[in-house]
Homo-oligomer: A and B are copies of this chain.
C-alpha cells in the first residue's frame, strides 16, 4: 500500500466523465493496483477511484509534472476506463507492507437477534418467558423454547428475513414437539415465527398453519441493552 499526499488534479473517463480541480488530496494505491482519491470530508466513498484489476503507469509531462495513468484491464467488453492524475506538489509519499487481511467477521444478525430475544422474550408476546435457547429436537434445535402465561409451550424460530423455508422448518419442529407429552401437558405447542422482515408468502403459509408471525424491531431491542455493553 502506497500513501501519497499531494496537490493533484484528476480526470476520469469511463462509465462517465469526471474532473477534479487541482487541490490537496490523499492518494491510496493498494497492492492490487487499485487507486483511491480521498478528500478530507464526505463519507467513506472516495472522490474518485479505479477498481481492480488495474495498472498504474507513472510518467512525466512536458512541463515536468508527475502524471499517473491508471487503466483498468477490462477484459474485452467496451473501452477501458482511464484515470489520469496530475501531481503538482507531493507533500508525502510512503510505502507500507500490510500483508493479507484476515477479513471482516459479520457476527450475524440472526444470532444477535436470538440473544436479544432470549433476553427479552416478552417482546414476542405478553407473558412469554424463556425456557431455554437452542431447545433440542431429533432434527435440530429450536431457536427459543418459551412458555406463555397459561403455561403452554411456545417454539420460536428466528430469522433475519422470514421466508417460506423458515416456516417449513418451524412446522417440522412443531410436529415433533407436539409428540412430547411433557410439552403438551397444558395444551399443544404453538409456534412463533420471528424475523426482522417477513415475506408475504411466508406470512400466508404461517397463518395457514396456525403459526404466529412477529416482526422484530432490531433497533428497539438493541435499545433495551446498554450500547457500550454490546462491544464484543
Contact = CB atoms under 8 A, between A and B. Distances in A.
A73 interface: no
A52 interface: yes
Interface in A68-86: 77-80, 82, 84
A104 B18 contact: yes
Nearest to A30: B40
B104 A17 contact: no
Nearest to A35: B44
A7 B109 CA distance: 27
B18 A79 contact: no
Contacts of A5: 1, 3, 94, 96, 98
Given A36-B44, A44-B36, A96-B5, A231 B26 contact: no
**Number of copies of chain A assembled together:** 2
Contacts of A13: 227, 230-231
B96 A17 contact: no
A41 B47 contact: no
A227 B80 contact: yes
B19 A109 contact: no
Interface string A33-45: 0101011111111
B3 A78 contact: no
A107 to B, nearest CB: 4
A28 interface: yes
Interface string A43-64: 1111111011000000000000
Given A82-B230, A227-B79, A105 B19 contact: yes
28 contacts: A1-B5, A1-B40, A11-B232, A17-B230, A18-B105, A18-B107, A19-B104, A21-B105, A24-B96, A25-B98, A25-B101, A26-B98, A30-B40, A30-B41, A30-B42, A31-B41, A32-B41, A34-B43, A40-B99, A40-B100, A43-B49, A44-B45, A47-B101, A47-B103, A82-B231, A91-B96, A92-B94, A92-B96
